[in-house]
Amino acid sequence: MKAIVLGIAANTFREGVRDRLFLAVGVFAAFVLASSLVIGPLSLGEQTRITEDIGLAAISILSFMIAVLVGTSIVYREIERRTIYTVISKPVERWQFILGKFVGLAGTVTLLVASMTVLLLLIDFAVARQFNGNILVAILLTWMELMLLTALSVLMSTIASPILGAIFSLLLYVIGHASADIRDLAVRFGSGVLRVMTDVVYYAVPNLEYLNVRSKVTHGVNIDPAYVAFASAYALLYAIAFLVIAVLVFERKEFK
């Protein structure tokens, strides 16, 4: 049974590789290196921090783009092109298909993040002449955020076209990062329908800022391990929820 999920995952992963997604890593490395070298001397001693800031941001953005762009079409494309028929007609449970797709995409994103991280650490070490271990913590939480977004993309893929799915995912990303401001806004509404609506949005949409410790890390702040654990659990729960919904939707799907 696990072989089926892994089989589908491996195939999805291979598709990603052959799609030359990993060119992104090259783009990343070139960009960070260039920025660091160009901006560094202008920054009055802040070159390390700027390198780390840009590097972490680039990892986050590139991976997010790939996760969403690939993820939102991953199931949809299979249905549209009907490659899915020959898979679903084998002794494959519907949930195995969804999980396989997710694992494959998550694996691709993870490999991307890992390679970019290694490059960032190398560049950072070259610039700072020392090792900022906290970068790994920031990356860990960024990775958890990406897993959440990947699960969301897979869910979107089962219910909407890629464009719609990508727009919705992007919207959730923006709202997720503005979560605290929404809370402030909600409090000012006092009570009433508007307050309830804002509260619902606030509690339902994942607060992605929890997973963003990038600025703290580049300011040299140590992150509390308990915080990391809670934030990771938070992201994991959302990912699970999204996948469960995706499975429930996919189970009922009719292939006209």
* Residues that bind other proteins in the complex, under the rule CB under 8 A: 3-4, 7-8, 11, 14-15, 18-19, 81-83, 85-94, 178, 180-181, 183-185, 203, 206-207, 210, 215-216, 219, 221, 227, 230-231, 233-234, 237-238, 240-241, 244-245, 247-248, 251, 254-256
* Nearer Cβ to other proteins (136/215): 215
For the CB of residue 7, give the shortest distance to other proteins in the complex, in Å: 4
**Quick one: tokens of 106?**
């998550």
For the CB of residue 96, give the shortest distance to other proteins in the complex, in Å: 9
Task: Please state, as a whole number, how many other Cβ atoms lie within 10 Å of the Cβ of residue 28.
Answer: 21
Give the whole-angstrom CA distance, residue 205 versus residue 61: 19
Asked whether the CA dihedral 73, 144, 180, 201 is positive or negative, the reply is positive
In sequence order, the 6+-apart residues with CB closer than 8 A to the CB of 112 are 21, 22, 24, 25, 62, 63, 66
For the CB of residue 110, give the shortest distance to other proteins in the complex, in Å: 20
Tokens 């249905």 found at: 79
* Nearer Cβ to other proteins (28/238): 238
For the CB of residue 160, give the shortest distance to other proteins in the complex, in Å: 14
Write out 129-181 in H/E/C secondary structure: CCCCCHHHHHHHHHHHHHHHHHHHHHHHHHHCCHHHHHHHHHHHHHHHHCHHH
* Nearer Cβ to other proteins (83/126): 83
* Nearer Cβ to other proteins (125/227): 227
* Nearer Cβ to other proteins (126/184): 184
**Quick one: tokens of 179?**
């979560």
- Of 220, 25, 50, 58, nearest to 124 by C-alpha is 50
For the CB of residue 137, give the shortest distance to other proteins in the complex, in Å: 15
